[in-house]
Structure 1
Amino acid sequence: MSLKDRHALVLGASGFIGRHVVLALGQAGVRVSTASRSHESYQRLARWLAGRGHDQVPADLRVDFTKASLIEGECDDITEIYNCAGAYRFGMSVDEARSANVDSVRAVVAFAARLPNLHRLVQVSGYRVGGQDPAPWSEEYRRETYRALGAYEASRVEADAVFQNVAAQLGVPWSIVNPASVIGDSATGESDQYLGLASSVKDLWQGSLPALPGNGQTFVPVVAADYLARFMTLLPMDAATQRTAYWPLDDDTPALPDLLTLIAEHYGVKAPRTRVPVPLLKRLPRWLTKADPETLTFLSTDRYPTDSAHAFAARHQLTMPDTATTIRRWADHLAAHRFGDAPADDRRFTKPGGTRTFELGDAAAPTVVLPGLPVNADTWAPVVAAVGHARAVDLPGLGMSTGRPDDWPSWLTALVTETGARHLVGHSIGAAAAVEAATAHPHAVDQLTLVSPFFLQAHPPRTAKWTPLTRRHLSRTTPTALAERLTNATGHATALRSAVADLRRGTIAATTARLLAATANSQWRADLRAKLQHYPGRVHIVLGSHDPLTVEGQSLLDALPHATVTVIAGAGHHPQLTHPEDVAQAIGEQTTSPGPQGEGGVREVPERPR
């Protein structure tokens, strides 16, 4: 069968594996149709493909697993089907799981049997459930299996047996892939699958994993999503793969405790020292383990028949990407997207100056926001998006960045000399970092925008110096309480959820407390004013009307002929929370139309109706 004759139908195309299969087929030049439950699902898939540089959209067909016809649309010339459909969810009822994972398989095989030009039906099963005896199940055996394994895994076991049995009866040519835990793309780490192994990674990131599950033999293998997709798309082209099941996974995946330790080291967090044997873990109450009982069956020392998958890959020059590297990239993607709470694409970790740094926005943007305290880059996301061609980064030791304040000099140097940061927008403590960077590298930084620069404003209250009390308060605060503290209202609590999550991780609250105390240091404040006074570039100050400059601060700016001031009516120390549109406009206007050197003055932004 030549490439031009291939017409692939992908079921479950909007799912994690399905999307990658569609992309791999399209990149190989195969004509693709996708069967989705709704046009909205298809549109999401089309946007995802376009975001990865693939603008050739597949044909849009409708699927209904409850109808005998299954697919609405012309299908007679389909040569291969990839069944990636099904429900990957724990806690389902038996009927729900069987409907999603067993009855759907019967319908797909029956549909495939009616296609006159079908060369292969590729079924996605699973590494723990594949290789079943295709003999029909008795009702007693079914009840025992569902009771022992739980609804999800049992339904996948039954589906594997049913698939082989019905395909043999109807004469459907088939191949089965039994993938391991499918993690992110090998190049980008991208994944939106947050169940299973990803949930343990989340606990590790948040510091809520009490112990490492299993021992040195506990094997939870993984496979990269793009490798799996490429593996699957090659199967119909190889006659030897008919009526064969494959286990694509890395036999050298570290044992589960070692895998989690690898991620902990990459995250810069401490891995738990305690290890809990699997038999004991299964006996502990769920309120203590915080693990769904259905997930515990995956904690096993079993190994799997991978020789045929390795031989097939070698025959087609398909090389498995380095698993440790893929794991690290996957872990980065999970954390950068806050394990599904922040799904936007423009989020990543970088390493300026060797410090692992969280960044959002346009990676190549010259305008870089350095957030203040006790907030993070996420609180600036609406401003960054509105400005366009901008990014925000968490300072070392704050938000989702690792490191310490001691790393700031080398980090700032790398930021402005290696990443193209030409316009620094510093908020509060970030204004101090911006001034330090600009005066250390005046020829690398064209402009400073200082939002609520504390060293030109009133001293903080004496309580700011009470570091232990501040740390304790910050580590226990809620989004509502923090919103009321920062904005005198609770309406911005949602925007502060990520900041609160960060403050509860590791040493973030302690670092924040120490830096808040440092803002009261008169010598540091004076040093920053002196450095600002000698900076030769453009300076733009953005203030809230409720958070004015001191007389001393105003006098300094009056002496700078290249300084301008924007005052936002009704705003306080955190205008990015209360007046994001006005802040974005102020930054954008000065970035695109700075005016001639030496043009100063004060611009007042009237309060908008809210």
Structure 2
Amino acid sequence: MSPEGRHALVLGASGFIGRHVVLELGRAGVRVSTASRSRESGLRLARWLAGRGYDQAPADLRVDFTKASLIEGEFDDFTEIYNCAGAFRFGMSVDEARRANVDSVRTVVAFAAGMPNLRRLVQVSGYRVGGQGPTRWSEERRRETYRALGAYEASRVEADAVFQEMAGQLGVPWSIVNPASVIGDSATGESDQYLGLAANLEELWQGSLAALPGNGRTFVPVVAVDHLARFMTLLPMDPSTERTSYWLLDDETPSLPDLLTSVAEHYGVKAPRTRVPVPLLKRLPRRLTKADPETLTFLSADRYPTDSAHAFAARHRLTMPDTATTIRRWADHLAAHRFGDAPAGDRRFTEPGGIRTLELGEKDAPTVVLPGLPVNADTWAPVVAEVGHARAVDLPGLGMSGGCHDDWQSWLTALVTETGARHLVGHSIGAAAAVEAAAAHPDAVEQLTLVAPFFLQAYPPRTAKMTFLTRRLLSRATPTALAERLTGATQHATALRSAVADLRRGTTAATAARLLAATGSPRWRADLRAGLQRYPGRVHIITGSRDPLAAEGQSLLDALPHATVTVIAGAGHHPQLTHPQDVARAIGAEAGVLGPPLPQGPGPGCGTMAG
């Protein structure tokens, strides 16, 4: 059947797997209808698809799994149905899990039986629950299974059996896909699921994973979501796949401890040395393991029958993407999006100068914000979005970026000579980095905007030199306390949650404390002022009226014919928190006069970072 003759219905289309199935069908030229519970879900899906180049939104239908009709309206021309619906959540009651995962399957199969042109009903099951025979469960078996496995997994096991039994009785042509732990897109790492294995990665990132679960035989296999979607969309076109179940996973997935250790190395954090055997994990109280008991059933040495899936993929020239690379990209995406806690927007890790760097905003934009202390790029996200054609990066050793202060020189060189950063917006300590970069590469940096440049302002209090005390305060600060310290008010606490989280990771607080102490160095301040005087490009200074320039700093600017100053009324040292729109307008007014991109080539010699 050609794509023009296919009409696919995707249930659960707004979910992680479902929307990738819709995308793959759309790219193949298949007519697609999606069924979601609300119009808002349909609109979100349409926006997601458009963001990935699929502008032709599928027909948006309403679904109700409690009704025999299933979807609103009269339809009988579906040639294939993909059931990606269901609840993936631990801690559900038995009744809740059965309604979501068992009763919904009954409704879907009955609906499919009424489709005269149906070629295939594709059911998403799971690698730990597949293989059930098409038998009706007794009440005793149901009680024992739910007691042993927990509500979520048991409901999926029961659903698998119910699906096969009903489909056989009603003559519905079916295929079942039993995917392993579904991780991010193989090209981008994109994922918005944070349960299961993703939760372990979050603990690694935060440094809160006390021990590695399992041993060298503990097998928690994975599969990329885009590969799974492509596999599923090919099934209806192959008659040999009818009434067949496929286990889709990479048999070469490393053992769980090795997988977590490889991610830790990629993150640049230390993996725990201790390993806890699975039997012991199951006996430990939840307050120690911090794991839902239902997740522990997935820690197994079992292997799975993947031969039929490999044969099918080979027959259709479908190659599984490299799992190690996919895991790294997935891990990056999870961390860059703070495991679901990050504000909306484009975020990624880049590697200028070989330093792992968190970047948010428009990729390759010429205007680049270098944040101050003790905040991070996230605190500049509203300003970056308002300015447009801009991005913000965490400095090495700060925020979510790797490296340390010693890496700044090579990192700044790469930033301005390789990534197209022509307008550097430096805030406080970031202003120092901006001046160092511009002084070393005046032909590459077309403009400087310095927000609250400390080296043109009064010296910090002597307590700033007490790095031990500063580190202790920063690593233990709450968002409310930090907001009050930085802005004099608590209403900006929410905007500082991510900064607080970063300060509690690794050596970030210690790095911030050392840099805060360095802002009082007379030599560094003099070097920065001299570098600013030598810089031939445009200079724009932004300060708050409550955080003025020192007389010496003002005199220096008065002598620079290419310098302008904007004072934001009522702002202090962190105007991006208290007056983001004013800051954005001030930056945008100057950024708008940027000329065409400068030719990229070998830059002049790199200057020395002091302090």
Give the TM interval when normalised to the shorter protein.
over 0.9
Amino acid at match of 1:187: A
Q: CA deviation at 1:73?
A: 2.6
Matches within 5 A, 1:237-256: 237-256=237-256
Give the Cα–Cα distance (whole angstroms) in 2 for the partners of residues 587 and 478 of structure 1: 30
Q: Which runs of 5+ in 2 are unaligned?
A: 596-611
Q: CA deviation at 1:344?
A: 2.3
Give the Cα–Cα distance (whole angstroms) in 1 for the partners of residues 170 and 72 of structure 2: 22
Q: CA deviation at 1:345?
A: 4.0
Q: CA deviation at 1:594?
A: 7.5
Matches within 5 A, 1:136-285: 136-285=136-285
Alignment of 1:592 with 2:606, yes or no, is no
Amino acid at match of 2:495: A
Q: CA deviation at 1:133?
A: 1.9
Secondary structure of the structure 1 residue equivalent to 2:582: helix
Amino acid at match of 1:140: E
Q: CA deviation at 1:342?
A: 1.6
Secondary structure of the structure 1 residue equivalent to 2:542: strand
Query: Per the alignment, do residues 36 and 307 of structure 1 end up closer, same or farther by CA in structure 2, a change over 3 Å counting?
Result: same
Secondary structure of the structure 2 residue equivalent to 1:309: helix
Give the Cα–Cα distance (whole angstroms) in 2 for the partners of residues 55 and 406 of structure 1: 46
| TM-score, normalization by structure 1 | 0.97
Q: CA deviation at 1:343?
A: 5.3
Give the Cα–Cα distance (whole angstroms) in 2 for the partners of residues 363 and 253 of structure 1: 32
Give the Cα–Cα distance (whole angstroms) in 1 for the partners of residues 584 and 345 of structure 2: 21
Q: Which residue of 2 aligns with 1:90?
A: 90
* Residues 181-222 of structure 1: CA deviation (Å, up to 9, x unaligned): 000000000000000000000000000000000000000000
Q: CA deviation at 1:2?
A: 2.3
Give the Cα–Cα distance (whole angstroms) in 1 for the partners of residues 373 and 214 of structure 2: 40
Q: Which residue of 2 aligns with 1:75?
A: 75
Give the Cα–Cα distance (whole angstroms) in 2 for the partners of residues 344 and 185 of structure 1: 19
Query: Per the alignment, do residues 295 and 594 of structure 1 end up closer, same or farther by CA in structure 2, a change over 3 Å counting?
Result: closer
Amino acid at match of 1:125: S
Matches within 5 A, 1:457-606: 457-593=457-593
Give the Cα–Cα distance (whole angstroms) in 2 for the partners of residues 392 and 485 of structure 1: 23
Give the Cα–Cα distance (whole angstroms) in 2 for the partners of residues 72 and 343 of structure 1: 35
Give the Cα–Cα distance (whole angstroms) in 2 for the partners of residues 358 and 582 of structure 1: 25
Q: CA deviation at 1:75?
A: 2.0
Alignment of 1:115 with 2:115, yes or no, is yes
* Residues 446-501 of structure 1: CA deviation (Å, up to 9, x unaligned): 00000000000011111111011111111110000000000000000000000000
* Residues 391-413 of structure 1: CA deviation (Å, up to 9, x unaligned): 00000000000001000000000
Secondary structure of the structure 1 residue equivalent to 2:128: coil
Matches within 5 A, 1:285-300: 285-300=285-300
Secondary structure of the structure 2 residue equivalent to 1:245: strand
Secondary structure of the structure 2 residue equivalent to 1:123: strand
Q: CA deviation at 1:56?
A: 1.0
Give the Cα–Cα distance (whole angstroms) in 1 for the partners of residues 197 and 403 of structure 2: 27
| TM-score, normalization by structure 2 | 0.97
Q: CA deviation at 1:74?
A: 3.6
Give the Cα–Cα distance (whole angstroms) in 1 for the partners of residues 344 and 188 of structure 2: 14
Q: Which residue of 2 aligns with 1:605?
A: none
Q: Which residue of 2 aligns with 1:39?
A: 39
Q: Which runs of 5+ in 1 are unaligned?
A: 596-610
Give the Cα–Cα distance (whole angstroms) in 2 for the partners of residues 285 and 292 of structure 1: 10
Amino acid at match of 2:80: E
How many equivalent pairs are there?
595
Q: CA deviation at 1:230?
A: 0.1
Give the Cα–Cα distance (whole angstroms) in 2 for the partners of residues 108 and 531 of structure 1: 70
Asked whether the 8 Å contact 2:12–2:35 carries over to 1, the reply is: yes
* Residues 124-147 of structure 1: CA deviation (Å, up to 9, x unaligned): 000000011221110011001000
* Residues 304-323 of structure 1: CA deviation (Å, up to 9, x unaligned): 00000000000000000000
Q: Which moved more, 1:405-414 or 1:342-351?
A: 342-351
Give the Cα–Cα distance (whole angstroms) in 1 for the partners of residues 486 and 205 of structure 2: 26
Matches within 5 A, 1:314-329: 314-329=314-329
Q: CA deviation at 1:155?
A: 0.2
Q: CA deviation at 1:425?
A: 0.1
Secondary structure of the structure 1 residue equivalent to 2:81: strand
Q: Which residue of 1 aligns with 2:61?
A: 61
Give the Cα–Cα distance (whole angstroms) in 1 for the partners of residues 383 and 25 of structure 2: 38
Q: Which residue of 1 aligns with 2:20?
A: 20
Amino acid at match of 1:142: R
Matches within 5 A, 1:383-398: 383-398=383-398
Give the Cα–Cα distance (whole angstroms) in 1 for the partners of residues 481 and 269 of structure 2: 27
Q: Which residue of 1 aligns with 2:407?
A: 407
Query: Per the alignment, do residues 150 and 315 of structure 1 end up closer, same or farther by CA in structure 2, a change over 3 Å counting?
Result: same
Q: Which residue of 2 aligns with 1:598?
A: none
Alignment of 1:378 with 2:378, yes or no, is yes
Give the Cα–Cα distance (whole angstroms) in 2 for the partners of residues 404 and 506 of structure 1: 12
Asked whether the 8 Å contact 2:42–2:60 carries over to 1, the reply is: yes
Q: Which moved more, 1:53-62 or 1:383-392?
A: 53-62
Give the Cα–Cα distance (whole angstroms) in 1 for the partners of residues 504 and 320 of structure 2: 38
Give the Cα–Cα distance (whole angstroms) in 2 for the partners of residues 34 and 554 of structure 1: 62
Give the Cα–Cα distance (whole angstroms) in 2 for the partners of residues 74 and 593 of structure 1: 58
Q: Which residue of 2 aligns with 1:360?
A: 360
> Where in structure 1 do 4 or more consecutive aligned residues deviate above 6 Å?
none
* Residues 326-352 of structure 1: CA deviation (Å, up to 9, x unaligned): 000000000000101125241000000
Amino acid at match of 1:235: L
Give the Cα–Cα distance (whole angstroms) in 2 for the partners of residues 437 and 96 of structure 1: 58
Give the Cα–Cα distance (whole angstroms) in 1 for the partners of residues 553 and 160 of structure 2: 72
* Residues 267-320 of structure 1: CA deviation (Å, up to 9, x unaligned): 000000101000001100000100000000000000000000000000000000
